[in-house]
Amino acid sequence: MIKVTEFVTANELANMMHVAVTEIISTCMSLGLFVSINQRLDAETLTLVADEFGYKLEFVSVEVQEAIDGHNVEDNPDDIRDRAPIVTVMGHVDHGKTKLLDFIRSTNVVAGEAGGITQHIGAYEVVLENGKAITFLDTPGHEAFTAMRARGAKVTDVAIIVIAADETVMPQTKEAINHAMAAGVPIVFAINKIDKANSNPEKIREELSKMNILVEEWGGKYQTQEISAKTGVGIGILLDKVLLEAEMQNLKANPSRLALGTVIESSLDKGRGYVAKLLVQNGTLKIGDIVLAGATYGRVKAMYNERNLPIREAGPSAPLLMLGLNGAPQAGDGFNVMTDEKETKNIATKRLQLQREQGLRTQKHITLDEIGRRIAIGEFKELNIIVKGDVDGSVEALSDSLLKLTNEEVAVNVIHKSVGQITESDVLLASASNAVIVGFQVRPSVSARKLAEAEQIDIRLYSIIYQAIEEIKSAIEGMLSPEIEEKITSNIEIREVFKITKVGTVAGCMVLDGKITRQTTIRVIRDGIVVYTGKLGSLKRFKDDVRDVSSGFECGLNIDNFNDIKVGDIIEGYEQIEIKRKL
């Protein structure tokens, strides 16, 4: 019996089985496969070849093969301390999860969400009046995020499931409950919106009892608390109940060992490089530590807490932003602090190779409308998609939910997914493999957009995840062009920024192409990522207010409710055109 990871090379396999590599190659030839010494073999081939030599194979993941030294050390009982519980807030869209967290953190997150939906995972540490700390993970509440939510449950000690008292127990709520139960996490139910006239908490309890979940009031073991995230009624008691659940688990950690934990999120920030949002689960992470996270590694250059203030170290249960990795690790990857830089590099390189081998190899220009047409004729069989997003969690969730759209007639393949703006190489890949590019909260670079026009590649841009899924679903179902199409009417580059009292920030701009009018809806794009969507406050040429400014002219403008304008930002004017569905 030999243990291997999938995609070991012919040479490595020969060494494990103590046979000459030429024998392996000749065996493969007799099976009709022509392989070279360093060619990596897939699971099926490995099993067949090993069988020929009388060996059985057991496949292990990369993680198992290199159990990282120094992390299986026994903790000294004197070093062990209590740690703050990590609490995940789950539940249906719009039942008030973010409002509840807002009230707890007494800041406002809701305003920045597209359509009031949490699109990214956030982690916040909150210190209560009694001095006890709780770390909250805010997971997005839609089926598309099942994958992330399941991950959220892996690092969670207690789950708060928010249910609106004026609605029923929704399918997503059931899904959240199942996740928490599967992960063996204690649940506290928060029945929200009790300040509404039509709220009926007893109905919610009744529905939960139908799912075999008996709450304490009905003689069961699950704690519930009626709250109003708007007015703050009952939230203090809810947190006490959460702390009670956490105390029962007797959560401990050793702050004096090397840190390990989980990556919650990662993104690419032009000024700072790759930024990873981490949650330390044991040990203490310090500046200068060598970190291995998934297939990426690096030294901790800087750390920030969730309020973007620099910190020197982070102990157990602390969420933080870390700079210094050489890439964007995947949400859900574990991270470890290592002692030997060379070994760290080797492990990361090995993992990256395996990821590439196991990654989808690019397969063999098509627009969504064309897909509909081809399906109608009955000749279309597969849809290749490239997914780009602003943070890794969204990319994963979107690609997972797109893969689920595969049916008997149409196979959906996500041939590439990554974080950051849409670049020329994405367009070239799309052109080579007949793919559609789906961008989530990102934009193509100018050169990529030009190349896409030349190559006639369809780039679809979305800011709400359901829209992306719905549109691609309708394309697959053979429907024709989406009813509302966005047309980009102008691109304006900010050349100079002036701060004017009582007015705010005014930008001196150059219209690169198209025409901007006072009424145009606009987006502010920084390094290919959308930072704000809204309307213009004013539009001037010299000192005069004007109705519109054409390409090649300069103008001055300010944006309603948005002052964080920087030189080099691009303002994109767009309009939404309704298109009749053609049958």
Distance CA 364, CA 381 (A): 12
- Predicted confidence at residue 370, as pLDDT, reads 65
- Predicted confidence at residue 367, as pLDDT, reads 66
- Predicted confidence at residue 145, as pLDDT, reads 46
What is each CA distance from 419 to 117, 412, 536, in whole angstroms?
A: 20, 20, 29
Backbone angles phi, psi at 166, to 5 degrees: -95, 5
Q: 268 vs 479, which has greater pLDDT?
A: 268
pLDDT at residue 237 greater than cutoff 50: yes
Work out the burial of residue 567: count CB atoms within 10 Å of its CB; fewer than 13 is exposed, 13-18 middle, 19 or more buried.
exposed
pLDDT at residue 107 greater than cutoff 90: no
Mean pLDDT for 129-135 is 81
Lowest mean pLDDT among 74-78, 101-105, 146-150: 146-150
- Predicted confidence at residue 108, as pLDDT, reads 46
Tell me the residue type at 568. Answer: G
Q: 577 vs 530, which has greater pLDDT?
A: 530
pLDDT at residue 4 greater than cutoff 80: no
Query: What is the band of 134 on the pLDDT scale with cuts at 50, 70, 90?
Result: confident
Query: What is the band of 154 on the pLDDT scale with cuts at 50, 70, 90?
Result: low
Q: 78 vs 358, which has greater pLDDT?
A: 78
Distance CA 10, CA 183 (A): 39
Lowest mean pLDDT among 171-180, 281-290, 436-445, 557-566: 171-180
Distance CA 336, CA 347 (A): 12
Lowest mean pLDDT among 85-94, 239-248, 349-358: 349-358
pLDDT at residue 507 greater than cutoff 90: yes
Which contacts (CB < 8 Å, 24+ apart) does range 112-118 have? 114/441, 114/463, 114/464, 115/464, 117/93, 117/141, 117/142, 117/464, 117/465
pLDDT for 286-300, tens place per residue? 999 999 988 899 999
Q: Which domains does the chain have, with CATH numbers?
A: 2-60 (1.10.1660), 84-250 (3.40.50.300), 260-315+326-358 (2.40.30.10), 368-482 (3.40.50.10050), 486-578 (2.40.30.10)
Lowest mean pLDDT among 86-100, 103-117, 543-557: 103-117
- Predicted confidence at residue 231, as pLDDT, reads 84
Mean pLDDT for 137-151 is 53
- Predicted confidence at residue 63, as pLDDT, reads 54
Q: 30 vs 123, which has greater pLDDT?
A: 30
Query: What is the band of 111 on the pLDDT scale with cuts at 50, 70, 90?
Result: very low
| DSSP code for 74 | P
- Predicted confidence at residue 96, as pLDDT, reads 78
Q: Can you spell out the DSSP letters for 311-357? A: ESEE-TT-EEEEEEESS-PPTT-EEEEES-HHHHHHHHHHHHHHHHH
- Predicted confidence at residue 377, as pLDDT, reads 63
Mean pLDDT for 423-430 is 87
- Predicted confidence at residue 495, as pLDDT, reads 94
Q: In terms of Cα–Cα distance, which of 520, 531, 511 is closest to 573? A: 520
What is each CA distance from 75 to 281, 315, 582, in whole angstroms?
A: 14, 15, 68
Work out the burial of residue 130: count CB atoms within 10 Å of its CB; fewer than 13 is exposed, 13-18 middle, 19 or more buried.
exposed
Mean pLDDT for 523-532 is 90
- Predicted confidence at residue 480, as pLDDT, reads 42
Q: 98 vs 188, which has greater pLDDT?
A: 188
Q: What does the mean pLDDT of the chain come to?
A: 80
- 97-105 vs 235-249: helix crossing angle, rounded to 10: 90
Q: How many angstroms from the chain centroid is the CA of residue 177?
A: 21
Share of the chain above pLDDT 70, in %: 84
Q: 354 vs 249, which has greater pLDDT?
A: 249
Lowest mean pLDDT among 21-35, 134-148, 219-233, 355-369: 355-369
pLDDT for 532-566, tens place per residue? 999 998 999 988 999 999 999 999 999 988 888 89
Work out the burial of residue 55: count CB atoms within 10 Å of its CB; fewer than 13 is exposed, 13-18 middle, 19 or more buried.
middle
Lowest mean pLDDT among 217-226, 368-377, 411-420, 552-561: 368-377
pLDDT for 444-464, tens place per residue? 988 888 888 888 888 899 888
Share of the chain above pLDDT 90, in %: 12
- pTM of the full predicted structure? 0.57
pLDDT for 508-523, tens place per residue? 999 999 999 988 899 9
